[in-house]
Structure 1
Amino acid sequence: MGLIKEFKEFAIKGNMIDMAIGIIIGTAFNKVVDVLVKQVIMPPLAMITNGVNFSEKQIILRETVLDASGAVETEAVVLGYGLFIEVMIDFLIIGFTVFLVVKFMNRFRRKAEDPNNKTVAPAKNVELLENINKLMEEQNELLRSRK
């Protein structure tokens, strides 16, 4: 029964929903980056390199060996470095985009937490801490004046 109760608390607090939203957005973002790399970045790169399709670039370590009837006796051993190049480009784009999003979010968070910035309403916890700080200063002044 404790496991069900824990799961309800987990689901109700929003952790599960936040995680599901993150996974869905991540999946959609992956599709966007995939199209960006394959349809926007790689074609001009292939044009600059005289039509080289990176996903097809490979080093053949051992050729396919056929027997007398034409059946495959041993498979070819191939290093597909071109696909690795495409995946690295994907990774760099994703990493740079995540960096920009985090940088953007941090800028807004710093503005929201700045007590001197009056254009953004302070977060509740910052407001409460400021009120507690003011009350403590008032109490200290009262105690000092009584001595």
Structure 2
Amino acid sequence: MSVLSEFKAFAVKGNVVDLAVGVIIGGAFGKIVESLVGDVIMPIVSKIFGGLDFSNYFIPLAGQTATTLVEAKKAGAVLAYGSFITVAINFMILAFIIFMMIKQINRLQSAPAPAPAPAEPPPPAEDIVLLREIRDSLKR
């Protein structure tokens, strides 16, 4: 078997295709979470804490005196812990959402199938029916 045919057999397996789809969807979902944190959550946090902007929280390591992170990076090395805080919040939100999705998937997969309706009992045998008729006629 040639290397090309082996690769083709490997690439079209369900697991590889599923993984590729998952990576693509995960990348797009990461962008959504990044926008949620950067455009919705962080402005609210900033408003609550008096207008602070985490993106400009840094410690200059080269002794520079800059007011923004961009200026500080141009001047030398910086420890941008504000960016780290934002990325950590992104991660926590993404991890929580994935946890909730997996929890729901597991709940749906482990849900027991509904019990089938009880079957109608079979009709009594002919001799039983005959004996009941005799009994009923004797009672009269």
TM over 0.5: yes
Which amino acid in structure 1 is aligned with residue 30 of structure 2?
N
Question: In structure 2, what is the equivalent of residue 37 of structure 1?
Answer: 37
**Structure 1 residue 60: Cα displacement:** 1.9
> Partners of 2:54 and 2:9 in 1: how far apart?
49
Q: Give the structure with higher Rg (CA).
A: 2
Task: Name the SS of the counterpart of 2:51 in structure 1.
Answer: coil
Q: After superposition, give the CA deviation of every residue in 1:20-65 in whole Å (9 maximum; x if it has no partner).
A: 2111101110110011000110001001111111011011233249
> Is residue 2:68 matched to residue 1:49?
no
What is the TM-score when the length of structure 1 is the normalising length? Answer: 0.65
> Is residue 2:93 matched to residue 1:118?
no
Which amino acid in structure 2 is aligned with residue 85 of structure 1?
I
CA RMSD of aligned residues (A): 2.1
Task: Name the SS of the counterpart of 2:52 in structure 1.
Answer: coil
Relative contact order (alpha carbons < 8 A, sep ≥ 6): 1 or 2 greater?
A: 2
> Partners of 1:24 and 1:15 in 2: how far apart?
14
Question: In structure 2, what is the equivalent of residue 63 of structure 1?
Answer: 63
> Partners of 2:30 and 2:105 in 1: how far apart?
20
Structure 2 gaps of 5+ residues are 66-74, 116-140
> Partners of 1:28 and 1:13 in 2: how far apart?
23
> Partners of 1:22 and 1:40 in 2: how far apart?
26
Which amino acid in structure 1 is aligned with residue 36 of structure 2?
L
Task: Name the SS of the counterpart of 2:114 in structure 1.
Answer: coil
Question: In structure 2, what is the equivalent of residue 21 of structure 1?
Answer: 21
Q: Which runs of 4+ in 1 moved over 4 A?
A: none
> Partners of 2:77 and 2:10 in 1: how far apart?
48
Q: Give the number of aligned pairs.
A: 107
> Partners of 2:59 and 2:15 in 1: how far apart?
46
Task: Name the SS of the counterpart of 1:62 in structure 2.
Answer: coil
> Is residue 2:102 matched to residue 1:102?
yes
Which amino acid in structure 1 is aligned with residue 9 of structure 2?
E
Identity over aligned pairs, percent: 43
Q: After superposition, give the CA deviation of every residue in 1:107-139 in whole Å (9 maximum; x if it has no partner).
A: 01111xx3xx327xxxxxxxxxxxxxxxxxxxx
